[in-house]
A and B are shown apart, each in its own frame.
Chain A
């Protein structure tokens, strides 16, 4: 019996011996190295560079950070303190609406740096060199785009180009070096990316050679406005813009709203855009709802907007009579009480300021209670009035932007030559406006600036234009006199502050560039 008991004891002891009992095997995830062995996973890792664009452009983030602080759109609800502060230029580095760009772009950069480090340089049976070259070029382009965004928003930011040994607490980098990287990355994109027409249908939305050329031109043009400008920046900008116009087969759609039509996504006018899809929670578009009026029908008769953002009065007044782009604006009511001024039906709306009530001859309605609501984000495919979907993309590079940039560059370099009129008159023609002629350089400059204003509103371009032209704060103050009053923190005159999260986490990082 005694032996039996000891035997029983011995039977369970061996359990203790197995060391691999403590090994981990994460089945739902994979080590990064394993992704670089076939085309499919490499491509999916490349899509991982696009993924964080949603932090930057998705969820209305870009409109908040660069729209509300510009002179094209304004926030007319109250209650969202972050937005009111942006609108009123009282925002600080702890404003939660301005933190997404920084994190999102650096996620792109980290993923891009990882790909550039790990992507095989030698071709293999599974990985032909054309494939590798394209992935590399696309990665460079996207990294360049991220830094382009950062440098324009913050002037200088940490310059990180490595993944494995990336600096943990980097200080702001050198402005010159940042711009060199942007331009080099875009050049590599130009060299290795396919034309937009050759991208297969199923992959529409990926960066193309035309996008890289356009971005490169815009980067030269932007650098030309900086202290660190190079003497030939403008010339290079002209050359690359001309290249895009002459060689890339882009064109304007006949109708302004067609440029945003979901049928025309990634088509001839859409050089590069942030892709949105309302059925995908990660990439749903908010713009239409934000921009549509709250209690009156939008362009297709639906009543479900939030009326968060309206066009500023100054912008609205900038449209010339007969401008067909006014068709992309509805003047809807924001607050419902009627001409009697009697709110008897209940309190349905909210006025921020009486000066927001517009009475203009262009306003098709006859009361003082209507404000201009932009409709370019409308998904015209949807006609069911109960439908809440809106799949429009958020354009990052649109062909009309390129045409106008071209006119601008030529006018700055050569004055109001025939070539300088070319781009702007194409844009005006599409808008149903008469071509311009006979202007001097200054007049044409003003005309181009106005045209960019009325053509590109709401696309996040205006803030950068004003920064390039050096008149941001004056223009914004002029457009929002009812919002902006008193002292503005002088730091906000130019670049955005880096969010407090990032300056708290990295003490080498300053809120503003040194010479701000």
Chain B
């Protein structure tokens, strides 16, 4: 398809006041333009020509050509040809294209101007997306990290936020769950808030508050992470946790391409926890008998006991695939990008999967020379098994991974025919369902739809005054279907068939309007921006439950057939709105001194009447030292910029209605005469004075380029103070409440970020290193509490996972996410003196707890700090090589100096229970020495063992035995690709064909004693686990995967 530039000016005559409606017709019209070849008559006074590349002499398509001082312009077609109307063939043409130096050529009466564009050495002066606009990278005064599309497509990922993992300094990305579609936690420059939301704000193509995880990776052109206050303050009350700007592909005018990307692969568990086999476990049970003084032997011949590997049966190699097809391009007056994407990924545990469709249409069109309209529309439809974390309660019940770990290996899994036994008789307790059978047969999946459309109109009011208005709508809906058939016996419903539907819908709209004014004073320039924004969101939910169905066949599709009518239906609503005014001034003096001032005035419905509005200013200064005369002669340093910024941003991320003390009706309030009665109880303890959390941030940094900009370094120091922290403090329960949300407290985060990009070799053989490291530190400065008299600290103790409670301390002077518990000192030995631990006299072979306060007892006053969940250093580095058509890249990711509470380790080494144990327990348990009648040693036993005596009941408290260092280095991706030479494929009209193979998570270096150190079983989104990033309680293990893929475009 060959496109010739069109002179059609579009629907100029339409009534402009109906622009909102017109957008649709405009879109349709321009879609029609794509289909039809629109040829234009040659005009008088025109210039033709060809643009070629200075290095290879090939034509360059897509070059922008502008007649200086006018609004008319065009772009080169695929063959590098262009034609532009130039009155009287006089004037200057400006040729520009990303990656090339901009050239200005005087026409001087010619009708043909062929030019050769020089490849730019200053690759860095690309445009970077910032809040409410774009900026040249060299003009930035704030700290912005960019991730480009090639880095995003390089990793097989289900959710796009994984692309930030290890790629941007100051951005810590942790998978909560390695399950497909599992939650990810993203922290930009540390954790600001104890209980508020710490997730960054996502802005998708200008739509503030979009959902990045419903996007397809192939649709993304770039991701910008705004880190300092100068960059984020334009988002005011929502910017405190950093802002992630996502830009999707839009077509390039004059360059029509079709892209097809596909991969297929397999993932599997790389191994991890080695558990006892049947004989080992049987021997352990015998020892446990003996340890408890029971004169019976459970398994007289343990060696003959069979082994059933539950963990192995739970995990299976799982296929994954992804296909995306897109067409993009445009004519002179409009451009488009249309794409479809399908991703399907099975989890390595049984019956877990994630499938998603994505559709996207992006269009921009010049309606007239002063009006531009466009739209970004996306639709996503996901069908996924419910995540492990969603599916279980705080005790870890319902977690298939921990169940599989705990199953005694002597229990058979299958019947004689190889089918799952529906029920098993555990070694203790009543007969229960076979967890694998339950996992296979219990229906529990979620359907999620997201539709998003963001429409804009941009009006050039004056030559240098622009008005832009956007209106966007996002609708998300989710339906969770659950059915437990009658033939499945689970712990909650036994054999009663049970169905449940959870339905919710959230409709959000956003309207933004702003003016942009630019003024050029010759050697300085000014950009001014001002606007306002209105935003509203409504959430509705419905939950229905039914029990006892006569037929299993209905599943969840006929709740009316439930025989048990007492099961209640629940519904809820939640609505919030925001109103904001914002402004920015950017002043550039001689390309040397840059000044940016931002301010936003934000109102939110979530706060009490006295605190509805907040003001968030910031200022930044940058000095491009390399533009100074004294720097110009330095050959080593080509580019040097100093940046400094300070500003305030906020977080309003508390639940709507938090300022109210309200009563809530519960239809299951009490039972009278065998019927559930409705009862009113207090829903929450409101605080009408709740207000924003405010984070002020100082940032100082340098951007530097060395050796003709082959080595680029960005270094930043940041220091953040968050005031008025939302804290849901454990509340004296004598009030009837366990928690109270309030604004107290103060938190500090600081860090140093270093990012390096080094093009070491740049000839035929290319070698590029990208590396980043972040050092970070946090301190709680104030909690608004009284000093605890027992401990002498201002602190509160919180945190819960499984049976572990009070495992964290929030203490002034310590970082957020500090583990709190006991220090141990090996095991008690026979000649140790008598001692009382937790109210019990110790026996030899018990774990020895350290009496911190030296009061002769071990009790809760002996708890101390035993670890921290936030890594001190983290980052990633990659090496990319290419030679001829081959490319090879290796991407490593690491986090250093942090701890994980390994609850799985506890349960698999608790030597008093009948769950399966770690294999390394065998031969490493304490055994008493034996003496004969004369007192001489007969058997030395095993007094130097790590594990206590078998039958010792270890208290369920956090100790330094289970809070362990989780530092790791991971080879996250290794990719080998080959791009077929153009001469082979151009005959079949293909412009690019690349095939590749990528291995993910192939290797890791860690001392962590679990599947994977990057875990968090409970997303840190509610109070009890706020700030919690590192809990391993049967976490979904990270899979190793290998994929084969191809990228094709024509």
Chain A positions within 8 Å of B, measured between CB atoms, are 1-2, 4-9, 11-13, 15-16, 21-32, 35, 41, 44-45, 47-48, 50-53, 77-79, 81-82, 84, 88-94, 96, 102-103, 106-107, 109-111, 114, 157-158, 160, 166-170, 201-206, 265-266, 275-277, 279-283, 289, 294, 304-307, 337, 341, 343, 346-354, 386, 388, 391, 486-489, 492, 500-502, 504-507, 509
Complex CA distance for A28 and B667, rounded to whole angstroms = 13
A92:B838 contact, CB within 8 angstroms: yes
> Could you say which residues of chain A place their CB within 8 Å of the CB of B912?
78-79
| Interface residue ranges of B401-458 to A (CB < 8 Å) | 410, 425, 427-431
Cross-chain contact B677 with A77 (CB below 8 angstroms): no
Could you say which residues of chain A place their CB within 8 Å of the CB of B564? 279
Pair A505/B732 contact, Cβ less than 8 Å? yes
Whether B293 pairs with A96 at a CB distance below 8 angstroms is no
User: Of all chain A residues, which has the CB nearest B428?
Assistant: A350
Q: Is B681 an interface residue (CB 8 A)?
A: yes
CB distance from B182 to the nearest CB of A (A): 28
| Min CB gap A52→B, angstroms | 8
In this assembly, does B736 line the interface, its C-beta being within 8 Å of a C-beta of chain A?
yes
16 A–B contacts from the bound complex (CB under 8 Å) = A16-B532, A23-B605, A24-B606, A30-B663, A32-B682, A78-B953, A81-B955, A90-B838, A106-B735, A170-B732, A265-B673, A275-B672, A280-B671, A348-B427, A388-B494, A488-B839
The 5 closest A-B pairs by CB, nearest first: A110-B736, A29-B662, A47-B679, A275-B671, A489-B839
Residue of A nearest to B840 (CB): A90
Known: A32-B661, A94-B805, A111-B681. A281 touches B670 (CB 8 A): no
Query: Are A283 and B668 closer than 8 Å at their CB atoms?
Result: yes
Docked CA distance A505–B810 (Å): 13
Q: Given known contacts A79-B914, A277-B676, is B732 in contact with A351 (CB within 8 Å)?
A: no
- Return B111 CB to nearest CB of chain A, in Å: 33
B662–A50 CB distance below 8 A? no
| Chain A contact residues, majority secondary structure | loop
A114–B737 alpha-carbon span in the complex (Å): 14
B586-638 with Cβ < 8 A to chain A: 603-606, 612
A160 and B841 within 8 A (CB): no
Complex CA distance for A389 and B244, rounded to whole angstroms: 53
B674 close to A (CB within 8 Å): yes
In angstroms, Cα B679 to Cα A170, docked, is: 28
Assess whether B661 is in contact with A504, with CB atoms less than 8 Å apart.
no
Q: Are A9 and B461 within 8 A (Cβ)? A: yes
Contact residues in A for B669 (Cβ distance below 8 Å): 44, 47-48, 50-51
A30–B677 alpha-carbon span in the complex (Å) = 18
Q: Check if A109 sits within 8 Å of B547, measured CB to CB.
A: no
Chain A minimum-CB-distance residue to B839: A489
Chain B residue with minimal CB distance to A157? B734
Interface centre among B732, B788, B803, B836 (most CB of A within 10 A): B732
Nearest-CB residue, chain B, relative to A107? B736
Q: How many residues of B contact A (CB 8 A)?
A: 114
Name which of A26, A93, A96, A289 has the most chain B CB atoms within 10 A of its CB: A26
Contact B796 A279 (CB under 8 A): no
Chain B residue numbers with a CB within 8 Å of A91 are: 839
User: Cβ of A7: which chain B residues have Cβ within 8 Å of it?
Assistant: 17
Across the interface, do A31 and B663 meet the contact criterion of CB distance under 8 Å? yes
Is residue B786 contacting chain A, with contact meaning CB distance below 8 A?
yes
The reply to whether B605 and A24 form a contact with Cβ atoms under 8 Å apart is yes
* Contact across chains for B668 and A282 when beta carbons are under 8 A apart: yes
Pairwise interchain contact B839-A6, C-beta atoms closer than 8 A: no
Taken residue by residue from 286 to 310, chain B's Cβ proximity to chain A (1 for < 8 Å, 0 otherwise) reads as 0001001111111110000000000
Q: How far is the CA of A352 from the CA of B581 in the complex (A)?
A: 70
How many Å lie between the Cα of A85 and that of B919 in the bound state? 28
A79 close to B428 (CB less than 8 A): yes
On whether the beta carbons of B679 and A45 are closer than 8 Å, the reply is yes
Asked if B550 is at the interface of the complex by the 8 Å CB criterion, the answer is: no
Q: Give the segment of B89-97, B572-580, B998-1006 that binds chain A.
A: B572-580
B663 contacts A35, C-beta separation under 8 Å: yes
Interface residue B534 (Cβ < 8 Å from any Cβ of A): yes
**Considering residues A78, A166, A341, A386, which has the most beta carbons from chain B within 10 angstroms of its beta carbon?**
A78
| Other-chain residue from B581, B672, B732 in contact with A16 (beta carbon distance below 8 A) | B581
The answer on a CB contact under 8 Å between B836 and A22 is no
B428:A47 contact, CB within 8 angstroms: no
**Is B657 within 8 A of A103, CB to CB?**
no
Other-chain contact of B841, A27, A41, A341, A487 (Cβ < 8 Å) = A487
Roughly how many angstroms separate A141 CA and B410 CA in the complex, as a whole number?
55
Q: Is the CB–CB distance between B672 and A203 below 8 Å?
A: yes
How many angstroms from the CA of A202 to the CA of B670 in the assembled complex?
Answer: 13
Known: A78-B913, A275-B672, A501-B805. 9 other contacts (CB 8 A): A12-B513, A35-B663, A41-B680, A47-B678, A48-B669, A106-B735, A343-B296, A500-B860, A504-B788
- The residues of A that contact B733 with a CB separation of less than 8 Å are 102-103, 106, 501-502, 505
Which residues in A have their C-beta under 8 angstroms from that of B675? 202, 277
Q: Is the CB of A96 within 8 A of B860?
A: no
How many whole Å from B576's CB to the nearest CB in chain A?
Answer: 7
Contact check, A8 vs B663: say whether CB atoms are below 8 A apart: no
Cα A489 to Cα B857 with chains together (Å):
10
Chain A residues with Cβ under 8 A from B41's Cβ? Answer: none
Question: With A204-B672, A294-B429 given, is the CB distance from A9 to B859 under 8 Å?
Answer: no
CB–CB A5/B298 < 8 A: no
Which A residues lie within 8 Å of B296 (CB)?
Answer: 337, 341, 343, 351
- By beta carbon, the residue of chain B nearest A12 is B513
Give the Cβ gap from B570 to chain A, nearest Cβ, in Å. 10
Q: Cβ of A169: which chain B residues have Cβ within 8 Å of it?
A: 732
Q: Which of B547, B663, B790 contacts A32 (CB 8 A)?
A: B663
Our pick among A27, A77, A201, A348 for the contact of B673 (Cβ within 8 Å) is A201
Chain A positions within 8 Å of B687 at CB level: none
Q: Any chain A CB within 8 A of the CB of B16?
A: yes
With beta carbons under 8 angstroms apart, the residue of B536, B662, B806, B840 that contacts A501 is: B806
On whether the beta carbons of B674 and A391 are closer than 8 Å, the reply is yes
Q: Given the complex, which residues of B lie within 8 Å of A89, measured CB to CB?
A: 839
Residue of A nearest to B907 (CB): A79
- Which chain B residues border A35 with CB–CB below 8 Å? 663, 680
Q: Is the CB of A47 within 8 A of B670?
A: yes
**Those of B639-689 within 8 Å (CB) of chain A:** 656-657, 659-666, 668-683
Please tell me if the beta carbons of A28 and B670 are within 8 angstroms of each other in the complex: no
Mask: chain B, 485-526; 1 = CB below 8 Å from A; 0 = not: 000000000111000000000000001010100000000000
B-chain residues with CB within 8 Å of residue A24 when the two chains form the complex = 575-576, 605-606, 656-657, 659-660
Cβ contact within 8 Å between B734 and A170: yes
Quick one: closest A residue to B838, CB to CB? Answer: A92
Are A22 and B672 closer than 8 Å at their CB atoms?
Answer: no
Q: Which residues of chain A are near B945, meaning CB under 8 Å? A: none
Distance in angstroms from A302 CB to nearest chain B CB is 11
Verify if B1008 is at the interface (C-beta below 8 Å from A): no
Please tell me if the beta carbons of B840 and A48 are within 8 angstroms of each other in the complex: no
Residues of chain A with a CB closer than 8 A to B660's CB? 24, 26, 29, 31
Is B178 an interface residue, CB under 8 A from the partner? Answer: no
B838 contacts across to A, CB distance below 8 A: 90, 92
Which of B662, B670, B789 touches A26 (beta carbons < 8 Å)?
Answer: B662
Partner of B674, one of A41, A265, A507, A509: A265
A500 touching B806 in the complex, CB below 8 Å, given contacts A275-B670, A505-B730: yes
Partner of B293, one of A158, A353, A386: A353
- The reply on B765 being an interface residue by CB < 8 A is no
Chain A's closest residue to B576 (CB) is A24
- Give chain B residues whose Cβ lies under 8 Å from the Cβ of A6: 461
Assembly CA distance A4 to B841 (angstroms): 89
Check A26–B674 contact: CB distance below 8 A: no
Residues of B within 8 A of A289 (CB): 430
Residue from A44, A90, A157 in contact with B677 in the complex, judged by beta carbons closer than 8 Å: A44
Q: Report the minimal beta-carbon distance from B665 to chain A, rounded to whole angstroms.
A: 7
